[in-house]
Structure 1
Amino acid sequence: MESKMPTAADVLYRVTAIIAAVADCPVDEISSESRLVEDLDLDSLQVVEIAVRTEEEFGKPIDDSLLAEQGVTVSHCAHVVQEAHAKEVRT
């Protein structure tokens, strides 16, 4: 529920932790280039859960369809979160 924009590194760290929790694997086994479906073997419900948890963590709406595409990486998820913050700052 913070209003100031978190740093890219902070967003990536927090998103990675959320993804690790959903994937039920250690954070250190996930890189920024890990793909949600192809590398971490997540299904569509888990991807939606990631979107919900990031919304709760950052207090910004996250479009889960942006996370559900083929080849989506952890860094892409972090970018989606940063865009949600930037959009609020611009409006």
Structure 2
Amino acid sequence: MTTHSDTLHRITAIVAAVADRPADEIAPESRLVEDLDLDSLQVVEIAVRAEEQFRTPVDDALLAEQEMTVARCAQVVAEAVAQGILT
């Protein structure tokens, strides 16, 4: 079972890699588009990498929502994992 802290840490690492920034520059409240200047393709890349790491489908449309933060990304992924476990 993955903890929220572990999920947040792993998503932060994914976002840092996609944004080509050090992980310590990525805060939970960092917004993907507004703060990190990611484009829609990079957001899809985050979803794909999360799917690979967590072995569950992640809806990239959810990650593309306006004002999406790194913490909210982790929550979306955690919910996707939970749904996969429950089904």
- Give, in angstroms, the shift of residue 36 of structure 1: 0.1
- Give, in angstroms, the shift of residue 90 of structure 1: 1.9
Please, which runs of 5 or more residues in structure 2 have no aligned partner?
none
After superposition, give the CA deviation of every residue in 1:2-44 in whole Å (9 maximum; x if it has no partner).
Answer: xxx2000000000000000000001000100000000000000
Match of 1:60 among 56, 60, 66: 56
Please, which runs of 5 or more residues in structure 1 have no aligned partner?
none
2:42 corresponding residue in structure 1: 46
Count matched residues. Answer: 87
RMSD after superposition:
0.6
Could you state the TM-score of these two structures normalised by the residue count of structure 1? 0.93
Moved over 6 A (4+): none
After superposition, give the CA deviation of every residue in 1:41-82 in whole Å (9 maximum; x if it has no partner).
Answer: 000000000000000011010000000011000000000111
Identity within the alignment, %: 68
